[in-house]
A and B are shown apart, each in its own frame.
Chain A
Amino acid sequence: MPDRYDPNTGPSRRKLLKCMMWGSAGVLWTVSGGVLKPLSLNGDALAAAPAAGDFTFMQISDTHIGFKGAANPDPGATLKEALARVGKVRPAMLLHTGDVSHLTKPEEFEMAVQIMKSAGLETHYVPGEHDTINDNGKSFFERFGRETSTGGWYSFDQGGVHFIGLVNVVDLRSGGLGYLGPAQIEWLADDLKGKSASTPIVVFAHMPLWTVSADWGWGTDDAAPAIAHLKRFGSVTVLNGHIHQVIQKVEGNVSFRTAYSTAFPQAAPGTPGASPGPLKVAAEKLRTVLGVRRVDVVHDKDVVLTDATLAS
């Protein structure tokens, strides 16, 4: 498969996705045989029309409606901008990987619902720890938990992909990271039973399902036993939020990738003197560090992730 742009064939969508130059819009990767290959990208990649037979969805994360800090006094406005970008792609559906609200307040959830409505898209949510403060997610699941099982986790099939939404922000333990719990891991094992190993799997959860930084709480204590159930599958893509930046890891056939926030950035893990809280950047830079993700499941079962900032 050519990884370079061929000026003779013209920018078909596939070529556009796979043959871009490096650009400010972000970096395009393809997952093939479990190895993420960095490809080039320009601003058109996000808005290229999906090809017939392909399945396109998008991910947004960490909208933090209700946040009023200096890092972004108006996260509602940047969410609207993010949804405008989503609208141009016209994906089949949208995933929201949590921290919908900043403080689990009813008025924050209500405002988020109103803004999200403007996208006019079926949206599947998982909660972040900001959505479950002191009520174990009760108010979040009442609003966003259409498909919920007892603990709020669920799965569904769409576009030939098996989607699994996990909850790793409830019942967090003192001194720990994110937490799935044995009941959820048992459910996952059950859910995957009988699935063909060639079924593409997309897992989405708020906190990273690998340890990006233990000191900053950027990981999930019991991710390993959950991931173990996914290892027999040929293509597993794990989409997370929480850390407000794009970081990725590949482990065999499992590729993990965190997403941009639509509200405010956070420091790179381990930055001296920094903390895992909101990072204030110059106002004119804010949109270069917020973004959305497009995911194309192309008919040869490649899963192509495109991260694009609000400035691109």
Chain B
Amino acid sequence: MNMLWLGKRGAITLAIAVALVLFAGFWLGWHSLAATSSPYEVAIDNFTFGPGVLTVPRGTKVTWTNKDDDPHTVTSDGDPKLFKSAALDTDEKFAFTFTDAGTFKYFCSIHPRMQGTVVVQ
């Protein structure tokens, strides 16, 4: 392609512009990919599990992230406990892989009013 009509400076400007557009495209694409690649996440925010009910296929790994200043746990109802996290401090995560179908209720053992459910299909 003959870019003589642009002049040398113009060609460089165009090259930078194209590079920026490509970079922005990759960046946005990568991020939206990252956001959708593991949708099975529960945020613990303002003393609430969100979403309160999460429906997932069998074999799914669900990850909880504590976004509060206060520690929380992810502890399954019933005895024996199917899963039981350590105390999650701010930004700490806990993950559990659900291999069996069923309805699994859980709560925060520090703040037991906080409850959530994972439905495995």
Q: Please indicate the chain A residues that have their CB under 8 angstroms from the CB of B106 in the complex.
A: 174
Of the residues B68, B69, B71, B105, contact of A70 by C-beta under 8 Å:
B69
In the complex, identify which listed stretch (A152-160, A224-232, A246-254, A273-281) lies at the interface while the others stay far away: A273-281
- Minimum C-beta distance from A241 to chain B (A): 15
Mask, A118-139, CB within 8 Å of B = 1, is: 0000000000011001100000
Answer whether residue A79 sits at the interface, using C-beta atoms and an 8 A cutoff: no
Complex Cα distance A191/B12, Å? 88
Complex Cα distance A102/B110, Å? 11
User: B70's closest neighbor in chain A, by CB?
Assistant: A277
Q: Please indicate the chain B residues that have their CB under 8 angstroms from the CB of A275 in the complex.
A: 46-47, 68
Mask, A163-207, CB within 8 Å of B = 1, is: 000000000111111000000000000000000000000000000
Answer whether residue B65 sits at the interface, using C-beta atoms and an 8 A cutoff: no
Mask, B66-105, CB within 8 Å of A = 1, is: 0011110101010000001011011000000000000001
Q: When the two chains form their complex, are residues A217 and B109 in contact, meaning their CB atoms are under 8 A apart? A: no
Given A134-B109, A173-B112, A277-B68, list of 13 further CB < 8 A pairs? A69-B90, A103-B87, A130-B110, A133-B86, A133-B87, A172-B109, A174-B105, A175-B112, A175-B113, A214-B113, A216-B113, A217-B112, A277-B47
Of the residues A69, A134, A176, contact of B112 by C-beta under 8 Å:
A176
Complex Cα distance A277/B69, Å? 7
Q: How many residues on the B side are at the interface (Cβ–Cβ under 8 A)?
A: 23
Q: When the two chains form their complex, are residues B112 and A174 in contact, meaning their CB atoms are under 8 A apart? A: yes
Answer whether residue B58 sits at the interface, using C-beta atoms and an 8 A cutoff: no
Q: When the two chains form their complex, are residues B87 and A104 in contact, meaning their CB atoms are under 8 A apart? A: yes
Complex Cα distance A215/B111, Å? 11
Q: Please indicate the chain B residues that have their CB under 8 angstroms from the CB of A134 in the complex.
A: 73, 84, 86-87, 109
Answer whether residue B64 sits at the interface, using C-beta atoms and an 8 A cutoff: no
Which B residues contact A (CB, under 8 angstroms)?
A: 46-47, 68-71, 73, 75, 77, 84, 86-87, 89-90, 105-107, 109-113, 115
Q: Please indicate the chain B residues that have their CB under 8 angstroms from the CB of A133 in the complex.
A: 71, 73, 86-87, 109-110
Answer whether residue A71 sits at the interface, using C-beta atoms and an 8 A cutoff: yes
Q: Known contacts A134-B84, A277-B70: does B89 contact A215 (CB below 8 Å)?
A: no
Q: When the two chains form their complex, are residues B89 and A103 in contact, meaning their CB atoms are under 8 A apart? A: yes
Of the residues A102, A130, A174, A277, contact of B107 by C-beta under 8 Å:
A174
Complex Cα distance A215/B113, Å? 7
Complex Cα distance A71/B87, Å? 19
Q: Known contacts A174-B107, A275-B47, A276-B47: does B112 contact A103 (CB below 8 Å)?
A: no
Q: When the two chains form their complex, are residues A278 and B109 in contact, meaning their CB atoms are under 8 A apart? A: no
Of the residues A71, A104, A176, A177, contact of B69 by C-beta under 8 Å:
A71
**Most interface-central of A215, A275, A276 (chain B CB within 10 A):** A275
Q: For chain A, residues 54 to 70, give those with C-beta under 8 angstroms from any C-beta of chain B.
A: 69-70
Mask, A246-274, CB within 8 Å of B = 1, is: 00000000000000000000000000000
Complex Cα distance A133/B92, Å? 16
Q: Please indicate the chain A residues that have their CB under 8 angstroms from the CB of B111 in the complex.
A: 129, 217, 276
Q: When the two chains form their complex, are residues A172 and B112 in contact, meaning their CB atoms are under 8 A apart? A: yes
- Minimum C-beta distance from A127 to chain B (A): 12
Closest 10 CB pairs of A and B: A174-B107, A277-B70, A69-B69, A217-B113, A172-B112, A275-B47, A133-B87, A278-B69, A275-B46, A174-B77
Q: Known contacts A102-B71, A133-B73, A275-B47: does B110 contact A177 (CB below 8 Å)?
A: no
